[in-house]
Amino acid sequence: MLRVLPTRYTSALPDLRRLLLDLGLVPAEEGEGWAVLDSRSGRVRLRSAEKGSARDGTTVFGVEIRDPAEFARRTAQDGGQAALEETPAGARVRITGPDGFEFLAEPTAHAGRYTDADPDLTVRLEWHTPDLERAAAALAAIGGRPRPHSMLGPGESREFTAKNGGVLAAVRDAATSVSLAFEYAGPAKELQPRLALAGWRMDTEAGRTRDAESAARSVPETETGREEQEASLSPGRSGGVVRVTVPLPDGSAVTILTTGGPERARMR
């Protein structure tokens, strides 16, 4: 078993919780200063943080597993660095990446999928790293299933689906960090009015991957070539991504990536 479970620290827990509900997640577990919300594909854990603290607005990389000992054995067998740890709460596994980045695989008995959650929404957890290939190898070693097509393009990311829900992505970057995002398999023009109606302010960027830019430059400047170039850069086409960013009171933001239409099958 492998399921994406990021932990997001925030001084604006009620606001972030409401945003995730408006996005289509559903409550799973809640307590004083914390909550776990489920999507159809992946879960998100929220924890309160003091406003302005180092943790406020940050995301911790994490996954859920079934059997820590077996998970550690398989990860090591597949070339990953996994250490079984005993804690008062039970066993867990610490994974160490090539850039020194560490994250935890925590055991869970939760196996359900929430049918009330938006079927088009997927939790996406990104590991930003200067060592893209070796980080990707670490995600493959824990059981990530390689995607044939990455949202950001093969030159920028290596992306994996988790068997029990969510997307894990190694993203090329100058420094190591973690970010939480979501993937929406429907068109942005449907998502944006829904969020606006709920009172959220959004920044929207229609972009393209660097690989799509290179492909566009290689298309001849004929009438047909211009049509092909415009198609390759359009949101909802291969190589086109719309980023919808919702700012939060804690100074952070939540980003939703969508390509719409033709990408739907790839994102599920």
- How does pLDDT run across 152-167, given as a tens digit for each residue? 888 899 999 999 999 9
- Lowest mean pLDDT: which of 12-16, 76-80, 107-111, 227-231? 227-231
Burial string for 177-188 (b: 16+ CB within 10 Å, else e) reads ebbbbbbbbbbb
Give me 116's structure tokens. 């009330």
Q: Write the pLDDT tens digit of every residue in 225-255.
A: 433 333 333 333 334 789 999 999 999 999 9
- Residue 47 β-bridge partners: 9, 34
Please count the other Cβ atoms lying within 10 Å of the Cβ belonging to residue 50.
10
Q: Write the pLDDT tens digit of every residue in 130-158.
A: 999 999 999 999 999 999 888 988 889 99
Taking only Cα atoms into account, the Rg of the chain, rounded to an integer number of angstroms, comes to 19
pLDDT, residue 222, reads 40
The residues, any chain, with a CB within 8 Å of residue 227's CB and separated by 6 or more, are none
Hey, CA dihedral for 182, 187, 193, 194, is it positive or negative? negative
pTM score of the predicted model: 0.85
